[in-house]
Amino acid sequence: MSVDRARLSDLMAHEVARFEAERPQSKVLFDDALTRMPDGVPMLWMAKWPGPWPVYVSRAQGAHFTCVDGIDHVDLCLGDTGAMVGHSPQPTVDAVTQQLAKGITTMLPTEDAAIAAGMLAERFGVPMWQFTLTATDANRAMIRYSRHVTGKKKVLVMDYCYHGSVDETFASLDGTGAVVERRGNIGAPVDPDETTVVVPFNDVAALERAFGEGDIACALIEPAMTNIGIVLPDPGWHEALRALCTDHGAVLIIDETHTVCAGPGGMTLRDNLQPDSVVIGKTIAGGIPAGAYGMTQELQNRVRASIHMEDIDVGGVGGTLAGNALSLAAIRATLGEVLTAEAYPAMIQRATEWTAGVQATIDEFQVPWQVTQLGARAEYSFLPQAPRDGADAANADDFELQQYLHLHALNRGILMTPFHNMALMSPATTAEDVAAHTAHFREAVASLVA
């Protein structure tokens, strides 16, 4: 379907007018905030929502939030995975509340630390864990350690990957196959070709060529891409990557920050992957800042043997607030009582319902789009078949169309993940929440083709 742009523009104008009429209190806060924060937001990305100003939240609970204009929303964004366990789950709130009164940060371990590490070890199969405040920082730590123990320089990543604000990962392939800065990269410290090798996802021949150069310290991957639409791995791709890392002495780091939607141990456990290191962040502490990286015993031994106690605080790994008592109490409660193995079947069932609802509209209106599910997460894209790599997925981007669909949903009380067409299910998301999306998505697509 080629979307009629004049019609899309009219539809969008109608949705913008509705948003403006229904969100006056958000506008008041936005106008005030504009005088003290760029774009009126505390973090730049919050300016990229589809309406003329951001929706200001008054309260979030479970799978819903209410804005300052009193409108209830089904939250399918869930803080882009930061709140995948639902907003303010009671066990996390209780544990954090107790810990707040007992000391927040001391730069000394608490009992919770080793318990939380043990929970991660059991889930992901790598035994030795350390903590950070973000997944970004966990990735940075693993890249440093990998370079340190291998004596090699380069990080291998997938074209159109996202692993947080990690310098080495803002690299992509140009039309000639050269490694260049990812579009939009701000203030790169060096040419990414110096630090990074980029290959398309699912391309074993490209992996073989890349490892042939002999300079790769680590491969940093998501086991399925989730930041440029969802791109699932071909059968055999993970095995090929594992074998090449082993043959060439490179560290295989699997970033499960988003793919933990596939199950309690992410895709690592579900698909019996064999990483040297697992990175995770966002949801493990129920939204309290926390990240973590785990290593095999063998890798941990190499790392520990290579660093001297005297220099441990100036090596570029770690941070003052990392591993603080509050984060660890939150991880222990969240993994132990909220994001449990028992919570997953219902979350995945909600995503299956969401996917079926989107597919039914695609079929009814014969639009050349597709929808892909990965556990409790699903995403549609403006492509006739599922993408096989990041470039495939990126080529299907249609920012105007996406903004219309997202604003249409928002005006009907449904928040989609910004930047792409993704929905995530929490333990608190209900079949009614999903059915609301199904009905409104149908209405939006009908408006485009009518």
Ligand X SMILES: Cc1ncc(COP(=O)(O)O)c(C=O)c1O
Report the interface residues with ligand X, using CB under 6 A. Answer: 134-136, 162-164, 222, 227, 255, 257-258, 281-282
Task: Compute how many other C-beta atoms are within 10 angstroms of the C-beta atom of residue 108.
Answer: 10
Query: Is 221 strand, coil or helix?
Result: strand
Of 265 and 281, the one with the shorter C-beta distance to ligand X is 281
Q: Do residues 327 and 286 lie in contact, with contact meaning Cβ atoms separated by under 8 Å?
A: no
DSSP state of 281: -
Q: How far is the CB of 255 from ligand X (least distance, A)?
A: 5
Write the CB contacts of 6 (distance below 8 Å, at least 6 apart in sequence).
Answer: none
| Torsion sign across C-alpha atoms 282, 285, 288, 294 | negative
Q: How far is the CB of 190 from ligand X (least distance, A)?
A: 21
Q: How far is the CB of 128 from ligand X (least distance, A)?
A: 20
Of 224 and 407, the one with the shorter C-beta distance to ligand X is 224
Of 183 and 308, the one with the shorter C-beta distance to ligand X is 183
Q: How far is the CB of 258 from ligand X (least distance, A)?
A: 5
Burial class (CB in 10 A: 0-12, 13-18, 19+), 444: buried
Of 255 and 379, the one with the shorter C-beta distance to ligand X is 255
Q: How far is the CB of 257 from ligand X (least distance, A)?
A: 4
Q: How far is the CB of 101 from ligand X (least distance, A)?
A: 27
Q: How far is the CB of 365 from ligand X (least distance, A)?
A: 31
Of 228 and 436, the one with the shorter C-beta distance to ligand X is 228
State the SS3 of 97-165: HHHHCCCCCCCCCCHHHHHHHHHHHHHHCCCEEEEECCHHHHHHHHHHHHHHHHCCCEEEEECCCCCCC
Residue 112: name the closest of 134, 135, 90, 96 by CA: 96
How far is the CA of 387 from the CAs of 225, 319, 351, 364, 401, in angstroms? 10, 38, 19, 22, 19
Q: How far is the CB of 77 from ligand X (least distance, A)?
A: 12
Of 64 and 258, the one with the shorter C-beta distance to ligand X is 258
Q: How far is the CB of 311 from ligand X (least distance, A)?
A: 26
User: Which residue in this structure is represented by tokens 């804005």?
Assistant: 67
* Bridge partners (DSSP) listed for residue 277: 253, 295
Dist. CA 92–CA 112, nearest whole Å = 13
Of 152 and 163, the one with the shorter C-beta distance to ligand X is 163
Q: How far is the CB of 253 from ligand X (least distance, A)?
A: 11
Of 285 and 343, the one with the shorter C-beta distance to ligand X is 285
Q: Do residues 74 and 63 lie in contact, with contact meaning Cβ atoms separated by under 8 Å?
A: yes
Of 119 and 288, the one with the shorter C-beta distance to ligand X is 288
Of 165 and 246, the one with the shorter C-beta distance to ligand X is 165
User: Which residue in this structure is represented by tokens 């000391």?
Assistant: 103
Q: Which residue is nearest to ligand X (CB)?
A: 164
DSSP annotation string for 14-53? HHHHHHHHH-HHHHHHHHHHTTTSGGGSSSGGGG-SSSSS
Element (H, E) at 447: helix 431-449
